[in-house]
Amino acid sequence: MNTLEWKQEDGISWIALSRPELRNAVNYEMMDELDEILHKIEATDDKIVVMTGSGNRAFCSGGDLSLFHSLYTEAEAYGMLSKMGQILKRIFLFPKPTVALLNGAAVGGGCELITACDFRIARRNTKFGFVQGSLEITTGWGGGTMLFERLKPHDAMTYLMTSQLFAAEKGFEDGFIHQLINDDENLEDGLRQFLNPYLKQSANVLSAYKKIWLNKFDLATFEENVEKEIRNCSKLWEKEEHHAAVRRFLNK
């Protein structure tokens, strides 16, 4: 694996996004590797999946803008967005509980990725934000649809419509972040403390409860809504306003 690290320990499958020099931005190789690793994990006896980022700056900075900047038309954008959208859906619907461990900032598509997970644990000093609006696009991997399943509509709209970066403490108050880990605490120790009561249960019990939550969804409607989100984002993507905003980011 070139863009991910995977380890299995005490019933936990750890996935670390590993492109720290670009703040763990997602490229096509990472999408393929994520897809592959999720298939492998599904076949293990592991109880819980933890997703985190390499380094201490970022969990994930979203799509790799230096790469995806070359996608110009709606159709080109749709290809990339729907590829990652499929992976986010797999994470959201994954048969085992999933946890996003925010070792650093989760921004743009990175924030969509944490939304796809069942639990979010963050260092107290981290930030998260759906900054897509400042790039003149919206969420395009299905994370907007998923956010409305995680939060009260008013809070979800605030996160999405303001494009702001928020402190993890605000996410904790809103119920988006489930546990804060103090800055002087070891991140893995803090996570294990949170996970201990879950890890005392069998994999079958955890998966069965996850299934009850997933049974709530009309899958066809959920998939239709994700698809609409991806299509809408693709339309905005091809506008000059978006390309200009990305150029500003890359030339800063």
What is residue 80's three-state secondary structure?
helix
Specify the residue, 46 or 159, whose C-beta has the smaller distance to ligand LP2KCY5N: 159
CB of 78 vs ligand LP2KCY5N, minimal distance in Å: 12
What is residue 180's three-state secondary structure?
strand
Contact status: 131 vs ligand LP2KCY5N (CB under 6 A): yes
Size of the site for ligand LP2KCY5N (CB under 6 A): 24
Q: Which of 33, 46, 112, 155 binds ligand LP2KCY5N (CB under 6 A)?
A: 112
Cα 248 from Cα 67, distance rounded (Å)? 15
CB atoms under 10 Å from CB of 203, counted, come to 17
CB of 73 vs ligand LP2KCY5N, minimal distance in Å: 15
Name residues whose C-beta falls within 8 Å of residue 64's C-beta, 6 or more positions apart in sequence. 19, 22, 25, 26, 27
Cα 78 from Cα 237, distance rounded (Å)? 9
> If you write DSSP's letter for every residue of 195-237 in order, what string do you get?
HHHHHTS-HHHHHHHHHHHHHTS-HHHHHHHHHHHHHHHHHHH
Contact status: 113 vs ligand LP2KCY5N (CB under 6 A): no
Per-residue mark of binding to ligand LP2KCY5N, 192-231 (x: CB under 6 A): ----------------------------------------
Q: Which of 4, 16, 25, 122 binds ligand LP2KCY5N (CB under 6 A)?
A: 25
Helix (H) or strand (E) holding 61: none
Strands 58-60 and 119-123: unpaired
Contact status: 23 vs ligand LP2KCY5N (CB under 6 A): yes
CB of 243 vs ligand LP2KCY5N, minimal distance in Å: 12
Contact status: 116 vs ligand LP2KCY5N (CB under 6 A): no
Using CB under 6 A as the criterion, which residues of the chain lie in contact with ligand LP2KCY5N when the complex forms? 22-23, 25, 57-58, 61-66, 68, 105, 107-109, 112, 131-132, 135, 139-141, 249
